[in-house]
């Protein structure tokens, strides 16, 4: 993956696995960043639970709660309360 994804005040750098908001690094766990990256890369379709497990938790045994926590971490990092959701609009 070359380049970065820019959306709203955010910049997601896949090479460095970093999320920045207004140029400042956002502290996010690596698995949460991998979930965000997968969702952004495939924003044109629904990403299945199976694909999340295979891509982010490759070979690890995890529960559905792990996926929920990671999604909650993505929402928290983006300031998305779930009531007024973030919409991905590439810059």
Q: Using one digit for the tens of pLDDT, what is the confidence trace for 18-60? A: 999 999 999 999 999 999 999 999 999 999 999 999 999 988 8
The better pLDDT of the pair 4, 87 is held by 4
CA 65 to each of CA 51, 55, 68, 79: distance values in angstroms, whole numbers, following the listed order? 16, 17, 5, 21
Mean pLDDT over 59-84 rounds to 87
pLDDT value of residue 25: 97
CATH of segment(s) 5-78: 1.10.10.10
Across-strand partners of 5? 12
Q: Using one digit for the tens of pLDDT, what is the confidence trace for 77-86? A: 998 877 765 5
- Taking the C-alpha atoms of residue 87 and residue 75, their distance in angstroms, rounded to an integer, is 11
pLDDT value of residue 88: 56
CA 6 to each of CA 37, 71, 86: distance values in angstroms, whole numbers, following the listed order? 12, 19, 13
Domain ranges of the chain: 5-78
């Amino acid at each position: 993956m070359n380049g970065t994804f820019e959306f709203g005040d955010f910049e997601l750098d896949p090479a460095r696995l970093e999320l920045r908001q207004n140029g400042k690094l956002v502290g996010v766990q690596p698995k949460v960043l991998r979930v965000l990256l997968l969702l952004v890369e495939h924003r044109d379709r629904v990403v299945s639970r199976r694909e999340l497990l295979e891509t982010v938790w490759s070979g690890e045994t995890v529960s559905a709660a792990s996926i929920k926590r990671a999604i909650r971490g993505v929402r928290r990092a983006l300031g998305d309360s779930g009531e007024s959701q973030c919409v991905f609009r590439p810059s």
